[in-house]
Structure 1
Amino acid sequence: MENKQAPIDLTLEKNYDSDFCGSIPLHLVNLVQPHGVLLTLEKGTLKIIQVSENVQEFLGVDVEALLGQPIARFLPEQQFTDIQAKVQKQVTEEKIPFSLTFQTAEKELALTALIHPKEEYVLIELEANAAPPAQHSFMALYQQIKYITSLLRKANTTHEVAQIAVEELKKLTGFDRVLAYQFDPQWNGIVIAQAKEEDMDDYMDLRFPASDVPKQSRELYFKNPYRLIPTRSYRPARLLPIINPLTQRFTDLSECNLRSVAGVHLEYLANLNIMASMSLPLIIDNKLWGLISCHHKQAMNPSYEIRSAMELLSGIVSAQLAAKEKEATIELKSRLRGIHAQLLEQLYNNQNFVDGLLNGPVSLQDLLNLSGAAVLYEGGIWTIGKTPSPQDLKEMMYWIRRNHGGNVFATDTLPHQYVRAKDFKEVASGLIVLQINAEQGEYILGFRPEVLQTVNWGGNPNQAIQMEPDGKSYHPRNSFATYQEVVKNTSLPWLAEELNAAEVLRSAVLEKIIKERY
């Protein structure tokens, strides 16, 4: 049977999480986006030791006029005192923006500032502090956030939470397209929710290879509440001097919102036909579960008020997703506990534990969602449902003894690991093993059939990275047309709750066997 929508935790044969992309030091680029200015300060004196080269057009002051000067010279006294306190108390870890008035002989500029205290220096990001429109006032945004939160709480599933989130974020921000991605176990991202303008490409249910968001980028989402690119056509501004005078290295820009983007990512945005993008992490249990990705056909720089609202909502969405996943897990555990209780009753009401597992109102098949099961014990073989032949089972037993010594072992890609299984993949592409006595070749085996899964990719994942002949330069794929891959020799994946249930059942079986013998 062909399953049209592949599950998120489907095991794919190829790993698209590029080591090459994941090794690029994105935090040591020495470049910032020009919609703001970056200052590096000596930690003790708060003297300016590095500035981004766009200060003249942004602040109206030459680079030379700033370098070596105390930041106090350009700020009202109270604001300077506030900065000192924030640096000393390290209270800016949550990236709370605050207002600064940058003073020169000619003018005063109202700016929004973010401070990042490091061990040896302090980074200050400055952006223009434009007055928000009425619809972005604190009260208006608070009301909208409360309304969106109430909608999210009414959702019944993770997909409903994600769909409500993208629809409401699109209304709130005005982005042309908002997507919710969920990462699979191999870090490919699948679009689980979408809200878009009619003329935008449809990416719903498409997977994007892990190299699109490589390891280095994923790690940076734990240091940045969002990643904003107001326009892909910007000219990056260098930090001057290039080498940080205090560390004699490039300045670490991991936590900076202004950090410039790799050229290959700007190409990627161009190939998507978008000019501006913003992404926010969905973090559950301190793990990156997915992303909210916002696209716009024109340049777009959301106000700090909107960014803050989006940051807050991404946290609320993450919490709601976690709650729905927990509810589904509790429901599954409850169902499995009920079946397990019936199986235990059968085990202890039958003289032979095999009869208790395989024959009765419920069986091992019900507990572990199996198409077939076999018990190899004391030289005999008992089966239920669809299983490999007795000879195939014996040969499989020898393979298990040689390769897997744990109490419980499971795979949803048996033919990839055990070549002989390709001959009976229709009944045993998935295998779970409960060890009774490995030395004697005694096992409980459960089987799942091959399920052909159609994976819809956003472009050919095998062409996600296109290297130049020099082996150094590379480009992203230039087409995101749907590319279909049919995954074979694979069963439905084993859930963690099913593996736990198998472990508990194994203990009960061993206890029953001991009582039978003694």
Structure 2
Amino acid sequence: MTDNFEVTLDNCHKEPIHIPGSIQPHGYLLVVEPATMTLSCVSENVTELCGADLSECIGKSLAEVVDADYCAIISKQWQSEKLQLFNPTSVQIKHVDSTLRKMTAIATYNGSVILIALEPDSKVSDKAYESVLKMLKNSVQSLMGVHKLDLIYQTVVEEVKRFSGFDRVMLYQFDHEYNGEVIAEAKETHLNAFLKQHFPESDIPKQARELYVKNPIRLLCDVEAEVSRLYPVQPHVDLSYCSLRSVSPIHIQYLRNMGVKASMSISIIINGKLWGLIACHHYSRNFVPFEVREIAQYISVMLSQLISVKIQEEDTQRNARQLAMLGQISAAMAEEQEYQNALRIKADQLLALVDASGAVWCLDGSLQTAGDVPEQNVINPLHQWLAEQVTEQEEAYFTHQLGIDNPQFAELADIASGVMMVSLSADNSSYILWFRKEIIQAKNWGGKPEKVIEFTDDGSHRLMPRSSFELWKQNVYKKSAPWQEAEREGALKLRSMIQSKMIIESEKVLQMNNKLEELVTHRTAELNLEIKQRKAAELHLLEALETAETSNRELERFAFIASHDLQEPLRKIQTFGDRIQRSGDTFSEKNQSYLERMRASAERMQTLIKNTLSFSRLSSDAMKFRSINANSAIQTVLDDISLLVNEKQADIRVDKIGVILADKGHIMRVFQNLLQNSLKFVAPERHPVIEITVVDRTEEHITLAFKDNGIGFDNQYATRIFNLFERLHGKSEFEGTGMGLAICRKIVEKHNGSIWAEGRENEGSVFYMQLPVK
């Protein structure tokens, strides 16, 4: 633990476990500065290894501590990926009395310093290696002889228990909320079973899961051992990749509460995400040599691959089924004169596409349903709430706990605990809703899932992990089965298919209208020939206005169609780019750079297309004006961009603004764009300071100022920056499409307001916005 971090119930998920400032005492740590190959930090117990005082160790050359051969390896390979190939290495440690002590060295580079973990010599010999290879061969043969996943899981835990010597080995799988379940277990017969029991997400908090992805194996030899702190204490050293890293005091207490004396965890990683763990427990001290740990890690890699192959097989089969169902729906649309009826005719496929129990859709202003759905008087308010949750960045909204997310709909649990919505139009008037029923789950928890505050005799308190691991049963209500990613993708594929059909149908209607307009115009022209010259001039003016209006409509329609059609190849570019990166093939740095640049360009073009479409829609979008709390809206925006605010270490100050009359979604977009610009266009040598103040208030209007200390701009461009595609800085300096401020101006003007700016180069800028209050 670091000296200045006090763990509480509110911040335990932020405990900096990667920089504990100490190691487990069964080994020793040398921290080496790469530039000088000298020791900048050591574990305090190093004195018993080399005989020198701690102060004498700091600044020592690595060559004074380890044998020359190992020193040469570190000097040559510390920046190379080959460094891992030298782990473990048997080294001679030099004592001040000129004696030598043999240790096993495991070296890593954490990005700034070299970490050399010295563990007790595992006495690796040819015979020992033969034993290790035999263990590995037996384990691989055991795994390859099994084909069903549940049997593979059981084989894995039995094999790991056999060669590692742990009393209990469990395979622990995470769900979508990172609660865990023991899906396989091998244990000594006298121990109680944890098989099929659930454990809460808080048992393995977020930062611990992230560390398991970075370093896939973690060994704790003795929970009762006193840690050996690092000397000097500052600076803190990142021990994420160090095999000796000490463990959080909370986790130590957690293991004590379970009666566990030693543990080992090996990560199961699928597609870069933590799928689960192989968790090993021992009820006495247990040191596992590096070679055995490597076998366990190799087994976990094999298991990850087997699971990944199984997932890919299931995805392939699911995609084939989805394509078949989409094909049937598409064929029905082509056959039906009113394409909306195709969903009713193919209702079974519509539900099976996403494994739903009911669906509601609105394509022509009227509702149609299939399966079990809520009453019609509930659907409208439910749709309105769901539409507010759908953002321009997200093409769908889904939840598996509707009654928990919004208690207003808790009574719908038996029909609609799970809801997924895809919007088919810009104003959300055309849409599809899918429903899933409540699944009442009886979960067996391995103890009540909670942490507690323990009060000590002196009146102080400390955070304690749960101490009870007795079976605790809980019924889970108001939740459905979660929506899987493949199901969401199936819904979006249907959305794209329906939107394409809607565009084609609208084109047909438009063509008929155009023909009718031509006939009307022609007949009108014939009649107007008999009218005086002044009437003819008025007719010419009317025709010009009608032509301009038609042109505007066609331009808006073209922007929508072009955006849709252009985004499809971009998605393929991004998808294939992702697949290439995940394929595991080795590319040269140059080709890797080309791939990254290709993906970045595709993402930028996709953003530009979306912004263009968004800008074109603003002309026709109907604003929903209502009185809103401006401070609440700004706080919501700040919550949404909190990661960027924290990354920039920004200081944001907001006046009390009060109520304004606005379309909440659109005005929050203006607030977000102005705040993001202030965070983006900032000088590298200073942290952003942003002030949102009220500069004028009347009964009718309020004028707000967004002031920052960024790079500013020459005030001669104060009007130009609101033009489309206007950029004062190159894209290599700052990201952006040059459309943000143009969109802001259009939104504000649709609010019957105005926006303008003032700037000074290298001093900052101020954006003023006048909005109605009633």
TM superposition score normalised by structure 2: 0.59
Residues 396 and 445 (structure 1 numbering): CA distance in 2 closer, same or farther, change over 3 Å?
A: same
Residues 93-242 of structure 1 aligned to structure 2 (within 5 Å): 96-104=87-95, 105=97, 107-117=99-109, 121-131=113-123, 137-153=128-144, 155-156=146-147, 158-242=149-233
Distance 1:33 1:460 in 2: 30
Pick the aligned partner of 2:301 from 301, 315, 327. Answer: 315
- The answer (yes or no) to whether the contact 1:24–1:216 under 8 Å persists in 2 is yes
- The answer (yes or no) to whether the contact 1:163–1:193 under 8 Å persists in 2 is yes
Residues 84 and 399 (structure 1 numbering): CA distance in 2 closer, same or farther, change over 3 Å?
A: closer
Residues 507 and 155 (structure 1 numbering): CA distance in 2 closer, same or farther, change over 3 Å?
A: farther
CA deviations on 1:464-518 (whole Å, 9 max, x unpaired) are 3435477762111111112222221222211111111111112222333444552
Structure 2 residue aligned with 1:464: 451
Deviation at 1:149, TM superposition (A): 3.0
CA deviations on 1:174-194 (whole Å, 9 max, x unpaired) are 111111122223222222221
- The answer (yes or no) to whether the contact 1:115–1:122 under 8 Å persists in 2 is yes
Structure 2 residue aligned with 1:305: 291
Distance 1:158 1:471 in 2: 49
Q: Is the helix fraction higher in 1 or 2?
A: 2
- The answer (yes or no) to whether the contact 1:50–1:239 under 8 Å persists in 2 is yes
- Match status 1:85 vs 2:73: no
- The answer (yes or no) to whether the contact 2:9–2:463 under 8 Å persists in 1 is no
Residue identity opposite 2:204 in structure 1? V
Distance 1:29 1:340 in 2: 53
Deviation at 1:412, TM superposition (A): 1.6
Residues 472-483 of structure 1 aligned to structure 2 (within 5 Å): 473-483=462-472
- The answer (yes or no) to whether the contact 2:386–2:397 under 8 Å persists in 1 is no
- The answer (yes or no) to whether the contact 2:329–2:349 under 8 Å persists in 1 is yes
- The answer (yes or no) to whether the contact 1:18–1:214 under 8 Å persists in 2 is no
Residue identity opposite 1:272 in structure 2? M
Q: Which runs of 5+ in 1 are unaligned?
A: 1-16, 244-248
Residues 32-47 of structure 1 aligned to structure 2 (within 5 Å): 32-47=23-38
Pick the aligned partner of 1:338 from 302, 324, 331. Answer: 324
- Match status 1:408 vs 2:396: yes
Deviation at 1:275, TM superposition (A): 0.8
Residues 212-291 of structure 1 aligned to structure 2 (within 5 Å): 212-243=203-234, 249-291=235-277
CA deviations on 1:384-439 (whole Å, 9 max, x unpaired) are 22222222223333333444355433222222334443333212222222323464
Distance 2:42 2:134 in 1: 39
- Match status 1:506 vs 2:495: yes
Residue identity opposite 2:275 in structure 1? W
- Match status 1:417 vs 2:405: yes
Distance 1:394 1:254 in 2: 51
- The answer (yes or no) to whether the contact 2:110–2:241 under 8 Å persists in 1 is no
- The answer (yes or no) to whether the contact 1:152–1:320 under 8 Å persists in 2 is no
Larger Rg: 2
- The answer (yes or no) to whether the contact 2:161–2:186 under 8 Å persists in 1 is yes
Residue identity opposite 1:505 in structure 2? L
Distance 1:138 1:19 in 2: 48
Residues 471 and 349 (structure 1 numbering): CA distance in 2 closer, same or farther, change over 3 Å?
A: farther
Secondary structure in 1 aligned to 2:311? Answer: helix
Q: Which runs of 5+ in 2 are unaligned?
A: 1-7, 509-774
Distance 1:297 1:440 in 2: 59
Secondary structure in 1 aligned to 2:41? Answer: strand
Deviation at 1:18, TM superposition (A): 6.9
Structure 2 residue aligned with 1:493: 482
Distance 2:41 2:144 in 1: 47
CA deviations on 1:433-477 (whole Å, 9 max, x unpaired) are 23234647332222211111223222111x234354777621111
Structure 2 residue aligned with 1:69: 60
Distance 1:252 1:268 in 2: 24
Distance 1:397 1:266 in 2: 48
Structure 1 residue aligned with 2:333: 347
Residue identity opposite 2:471 in structure 1? T
- The answer (yes or no) to whether the contact 1:281–1:292 under 8 Å persists in 2 is yes
CA deviations on 1:230-259 (whole Å, 9 max, x unpaired) are 11111112233333xxxxx23333322112
- The answer (yes or no) to whether the contact 1:38–1:124 under 8 Å persists in 2 is yes
Deviation at 1:169, TM superposition (A): 0.7
Distance 1:98 1:242 in 2: 28
Residues 403 and 218 (structure 1 numbering): CA distance in 2 closer, same or farther, change over 3 Å?
A: closer
Distance 1:511 1:89 in 2: 52
Structure 1 residue aligned with 2:13: 22
Distance 1:323 1:111 in 2: 40
Residue identity opposite 1:450 in structure 2? E
- The answer (yes or no) to whether the contact 2:110–2:239 under 8 Å persists in 1 is no
Identity of aligned residues (%): 32
Pick the aligned partner of 2:435 from 439, 447, 450. Answer: 447
Deviation at 1:89, TM superposition (A): 4.4
Distance 2:285 2:438 in 1: 47
Residue identity opposite 1:338 in structure 2? A
> Greater CA deviation, 73-82 or 485-494?
73-82
Secondary structure in 2 aligned to 1:353? Answer: coil
- The answer (yes or no) to whether the contact 2:13–2:206 under 8 Å persists in 1 is yes
Distance 1:303 1:436 in 2: 59
- The answer (yes or no) to whether the contact 1:374–1:446 under 8 Å persists in 2 is yes
Residue identity opposite 2:172 in structure 1? Y
Residues 382 and 35 (structure 1 numbering): CA distance in 2 closer, same or farther, change over 3 Å?
A: same
Residue identity opposite 2:417 in structure 1? S
Secondary structure in 2 aligned to 1:373? Answer: strand
- The answer (yes or no) to whether the contact 1:90–1:117 under 8 Å persists in 2 is no
Residue identity opposite 1:46 in structure 2? M
Structure 1 residue aligned with 2:3: none
Distance 1:122 1:361 in 2: 62
Secondary structure in 2 aligned to 1:92? Answer: helix
Distance 2:233 2:363 in 1: 71
Q: Relative CO higher for 1 or 2, CA cutoff 8 Å, sep ≥ 6? A: 1
Residue identity opposite 1:205 in structure 2? K
Secondary structure in 2 aligned to 1:400? Answer: helix
Residues 103 and 442 (structure 1 numbering): CA distance in 2 closer, same or farther, change over 3 Å?
A: closer
Q: Number of residue pairs matched?
A: 495
The Cα RMSD (Å) is 2.9
Secondary structure in 1 aligned to 2:353? Answer: helix
Deviation at 1:101, TM superposition (A): 1.4
- The answer (yes or no) to whether the contact 2:158–2:186 under 8 Å persists in 1 is yes
Distance 2:348 2:185 in 1: 41
Distance 1:426 1:167 in 2: 42
Distance 1:394 1:56 in 2: 73
Residues 349 and 428 (structure 1 numbering): CA distance in 2 closer, same or farther, change over 3 Å?
A: same
Deviation at 1:24, TM superposition (A): 1.5
Secondary structure in 2 aligned to 1:326? Answer: helix
Distance 1:53 1:168 in 2: 37
Deviation at 1:112, TM superposition (A): 0.8
- Match status 1:484 vs 2:473: yes
Residues 29 and 516 (structure 1 numbering): CA distance in 2 closer, same or farther, change over 3 Å?
A: closer
- The answer (yes or no) to whether the contact 1:98–1:114 under 8 Å persists in 2 is yes
Secondary structure in 1 aligned to 2:161? Answer: helix
